[in-house]
Amino acid sequence: MSDEKKTVLSMRHINKTFPGVKALSDAQLTLREGEIHALMGENGAGKSTLGNVIMGNSQYKVDRGSIFFEDEDITSARTDERAQKGLFLSFQSPIEIPGVSISQFIRTAMETKEKIRLKTFRDKLKTVTKTLGINEQWINRELNVGFSGGERKKIEMLQLLMLNPKLAILDETDSGLDVDAVKTVSRGIQTFQQDDQKSLLIITHNSKILEYLHIDYVHILINGKIIKTGDASLIKIINEQGYEPLITGQGE
Ligand code: ADP
Ligand code: MG
């Protein structure tokens, strides 16, 4: 029964204000083991803020409310502490580190958790690149060379499968991904999810990627408020009619 599933993440009454903007207003969310949740909403709704609040990025300290990860209060934990506990947030903005290759970057990220032998790392990287359909040579590319939106998504999926967190938060870039990138992302997510103890929060304002996945719950965020939580049928409504029907049906 679903009641017996372990709660992985619980956000309670989260409020976050920026000068002139209430980015999150009493946001509540509970995510259990093995579940995929989608957080949807228009631009500026507060989606990325919610992701950043969960990760504890420095500009996103909450004004009020608490966040629990596996029953532990992480509201004041540092980002690296949260990562060590098994949280992962994909990078929405370009990462540019001169002189560092993609593979070095990923290895460094992995080693913040535990030392990993080069051979073990290389073997794992080989398996993961193969799964994702990524050219093995490509990962030696420097992180300071301009990456396209689609390429960035590939790096994220590489990181996801290499770091193998308990809960991954994937914040979609607003730029439309090409078919190739959408395939890499869905392949990455499906592989990650084969382990039924892994959970995902997919943040998106367009739902292309959601069509390829089995989504357990959909949360609709409007003006910093989660106005509705439902099953995957909400995706269809948004695809066909936009957010308007959900806003007007809010008080029912
Ligand atoms: P979404 O990801 O849904 O498009 P965001 O969470 O990025 O929305 O933004 C929600 C609101 O919070 C916006 O009005 C945005 O300008 C504001 N905001 C987000 N991050 C910051 C920040 N670091 N500093 C100031 N305002 C911010
Ligand atoms: Mg955003």
Tens of pLDDT, residues 136-160: 888 888 776 677 777 888 888 898 9
Cα 126 to middle of ligand 2, angstroms: 32
Is residue 114 domain-resident? yes
Is residue 1 domain-resident? no
Is residue 154 domain-resident? yes
Whether 51 lines ligand 1, by a CB cut-off of 6 Å, is no
Is residue 171 domain-resident? yes
Nearest-angstrom CA–CA distance, 138 and 46:
34
Whether 61 lines ligand 1, by a CB cut-off of 6 Å, is no
Cα 124 to middle of ligand 1, angstroms: 36
Residue 70 phi/psi, 5-degree rounding, is 50, 50
Residues spanned by the domain of 234: 7-248
Residue 252, pLDDT > 50, answer no
pTM beyond 0.85: the answer is: yes
Q: How many domains does the chain have?
A: 1
* Distances, alpha carbon 110 to alpha carbons 43, 83, 104, 136, 185, in Å: 32, 10, 10, 19, 20
Question: Which residues are CB-neighbours of 20 under 8 A, at least 6 positions away?
Answer: none
Best mutation site among 16, 17, 18, 61 for ligand 1, i.e. most ligand atoms within 8 A of its Cβ?
18
Tens of pLDDT, residues 110-129: 887 788 999 999 999 999 99
Is residue 233 domain-resident? yes
pLDDT at 106: 87
Is residue 121 domain-resident? yes
Cα 136 to middle of ligand 2, angstroms: 30
Nearest-angstrom CA–CA distance, 167 and 9:
8
Nearest-angstrom CA–CA distance, 214 and 47:
20
User: In this structure, what CATH number is given to the domain that contains residue 73?
Assistant: 3.40.50.300
Q: Which of 45-54, 87-96, 100-109, 234-243 has the lowest mean pLDDT?
A: 87-96
Is residue 2 domain-resident? no
Is residue 69 domain-resident? yes
